[in-house]
Chain A
Amino acid sequence: MTTIHLEETPHLTYVLRLADTALVNAHRLSEWCGHAPMLEEDLALVNIALDLLGQARLLYEHAAGLEGKGRTEDDLAYLRDAPQFKNLLIAELPRGDFAFTIVRQTLLSAFFHPFWQQAVGSTDRTLAGIAGKAEKEVAYHLRHAGAWLVRLGDGTEESRRRTVEALETLWPYTGELFEVDTVGEAMIEAGIAPDPATIRPVFEESVDRLLGEAGLERPVAGWMQTGGLRGVHTEHLGHMLAVMQHLQRAYPGAVW
Chain B
Amino acid sequence: MYSQALNERVEGPRIVEDPEKLAAFQARIDAEERIEPNDWMPEAYRRTLIRQIGQHAHSEVVGMLPEGNWITRAPSLRRKAALLAKVQDEGGHGLYLYAAAETLGVSREELYEQLLAGKAKYSSIFNYPTLTWADIGCIGWLVDGAAIMNQIPLCRTSYGPYARAMIRICKEESFHQRQGYEIMLALCRGTAEQKAMAQDALNRWWWPSLMMFGPPDTESRHTAESMRWKIKRFTNDELRQKFVDATVPQGHYLGLTFPDPELRFDEATGHWRFGKIDWDEFRRVLAGHGPCNRERMAARRKAHEEGAWVREAALAHAAKRRARERAQKIAAE
User: Given the complex, which residues of A lie within 8 Å of B91, measured CB to CB?
Assistant: 34, 39, 42-43, 46
Q: Name the prevailing secondary structure of the A interface residues.
A: helix
Q: Looking at the assembled complex, report how far the CB atom of B134 sits from the nearest CB atom of chain A, in whole angstroms.
A: 10
Are B81 and A57 in contact (CB-based, < 8 A)?
yes
Q: Looking at the assembled complex, report how far the CB atom of A53 sits from the nearest CB atom of chain B, in whole angstroms.
A: 5
Are A254 and B190 in contact (CB-based, < 8 A)?
yes
Are A33 and B88 in contact (CB-based, < 8 A)?
yes
Is the CB of B181 closer than 8 A to any CB of chain A? no
Q: How many residues on chain A are close to B (CB under 8 Å)? A: 49
| CB-CB nearest in chain B for A23 | B77
User: Given the complex, which residues of A lie within 8 Å of B306, measured CB to CB?
Assistant: 35, 37, 97
| Interface of chain A residues 126 through 166 with chain B (CB within 8 A) | 150-152, 154-156, 158-159, 162
**Cα of A129 to Cα of B202 in the assembled complex, Å:** 43
Given known pairs A34-B65, A38-B307, the reply for A53 and B72 (CB within 8 Å) is: no
Is the CB of B68 closer than 8 A to any CB of chain A? yes
**Cα of A163 to Cα of B299 in the assembled complex, Å:** 24
Are A251 and B312 in contact (CB-based, < 8 A)?
no
Is the CB of B87 closer than 8 A to any CB of chain A? yes
Given known pairs A244-B73, A251-B191, A251-B193, the reply for A36 and B303 (CB within 8 Å) is: yes
**Cα of A47 to Cα of B306 in the assembled complex, Å:** 21
Are B317 and A37 in contact (CB-based, < 8 A)?
no
Is the CB of B22 closer than 8 A to any CB of chain A? no
Q: Looking at the assembled complex, report how far the CB atom of B53 sits from the nearest CB atom of chain A, in whole angstroms.
A: 15
Is the CB of B94 closer than 8 A to any CB of chain A? yes
Are B88 and A246 in contact (CB-based, < 8 A)?
no
Are B77 and A77 in contact (CB-based, < 8 A)?
yes
Is the CB of A220 closer than 8 A to any CB of chain B? no
**Cα of A251 to Cα of B306 in the assembled complex, Å:** 37
**Cα of A98 to Cα of B308 in the assembled complex, Å:** 11
Is the CB of A221 closer than 8 A to any CB of chain B? no
Are B80 and A255 in contact (CB-based, < 8 A)?
no
Is the CB of A223 closer than 8 A to any CB of chain B? no
Is the CB of B79 closer than 8 A to any CB of chain A? yes
Are B303 and A43 in contact (CB-based, < 8 A)?
no
Is the CB of A204 closer than 8 A to any CB of chain B? no
**Cα of A152 to Cα of B75 in the assembled complex, Å:** 36
| CB-CB nearest in chain A for B304 | A37
Are B316 and A156 in contact (CB-based, < 8 A)?
yes
Is the CB of A106 closer than 8 A to any CB of chain B? no
User: Given the complex, which residues of B lie within 8 Å of A247, measured CB to CB?
Assistant: 73-75, 133
Is the CB of B326 closer than 8 A to any CB of chain A? no
Contact of B77 among A34, A36, A47, A74 (CB under 8 A): A74
User: Given the complex, which residues of A lie within 8 Å of B81, measured CB to CB?
Assistant: 50, 53-54, 57
Our count of residue pairs bridging A and B at CB distance below 8 angstroms stands at 145
User: Given the complex, which residues of A lie within 8 Å of B98, measured CB to CB?
Assistant: 39
| CB-CB nearest in chain A for B69 | A34
Is the CB of B277 closer than 8 A to any CB of chain A? no
Is the CB of A81 closer than 8 A to any CB of chain B? no
Are B75 and A50 in contact (CB-based, < 8 A)?
no
User: Given the complex, which residues of B lie within 8 Å of A34, measured CB to CB?
Assistant: 64-65, 68, 87, 91, 299, 303
| CB-CB nearest in chain A for B305 | A37
Q: Looking at the assembled complex, report how far the CB atom of A193 sits from the nearest CB atom of chain B, in whole angstroms.
A: 24
**Cα of A248 to Cα of B194 in the assembled complex, Å:** 12
Is the CB of A31 closer than 8 A to any CB of chain B? yes
Are A33 and B87 in contact (CB-based, < 8 A)?
yes
**Cα of A126 to Cα of B308 in the assembled complex, Å:** 44
Is the CB of B28 closer than 8 A to any CB of chain A? no
Is the CB of B313 closer than 8 A to any CB of chain A? yes
| CB-CB nearest in chain A for B112 | A39
Are B311 and A38 in contact (CB-based, < 8 A)?
yes
Contact with A along B71-109 (1 / 0, CB 8 A): 111111111110011011001101100100000000000
Is the CB of B148 closer than 8 A to any CB of chain A? no
User: Given the complex, which residues of B lie within 8 Å of A181, measured CB to CB?
Assistant: none
**Cα of A59 to Cα of B190 in the assembled complex, Å:** 28
Most chain B beta-carbon contacts within 10 A, residue among A34, A36, A159, A256: A34
User: Given the complex, which residues of A lie within 8 Å of B131, measured CB to CB?
Assistant: none
| CB-CB nearest in chain B for A255 | B190
User: Given the complex, which residues of A lie within 8 Å of B331, measured CB to CB?
Assistant: none
Q: Looking at the assembled complex, report how far the CB atom of A48 sits from the nearest CB atom of chain B, in whole angstroms.
A: 11
Are A155 and B316 in contact (CB-based, < 8 A)?
yes
User: Given the complex, which residues of B lie within 8 Å of A246, measured CB to CB?
Assistant: 73
Contact with A along B168-199 (1 / 0, CB 8 A): 00000000000000010011001101100000
Are A33 and B193 in contact (CB-based, < 8 A)?
no
- Additional pairs, 9, CB under 8 Å, beyond known A33-B68, A156-B309, A158-B309: A23-B77, A33-B64, A34-B91, A35-B302, A43-B88, A49-B84, A74-B77, A151-B313, A155-B316
Chain B residues near A (Cβ < 8 Å): 61, 64-65, 68, 71-81, 84-85, 87-88, 91-92, 94-95, 98, 133, 183, 186-187, 190-191, 193-194, 299, 302-303, 306-318, 320-321
6 sampled A-B residue pairs with Cβ under 8 A: A34-B64, A37-B303, A37-B311, A43-B95, A53-B81, A156-B316
Chain A residues near B (Cβ < 8 Å): 23, 27, 30-31, 33-43, 46-47, 49-50, 53-54, 56-57, 60, 73-74, 77-78, 97-98, 150-152, 154-156, 158-159, 162, 240, 243-244, 246-248, 251, 254-256
List 5 A-B pairs, minimum CB-CB distance, nearest first. A37-B307, A155-B313, A159-B313, A37-B310, A256-B75
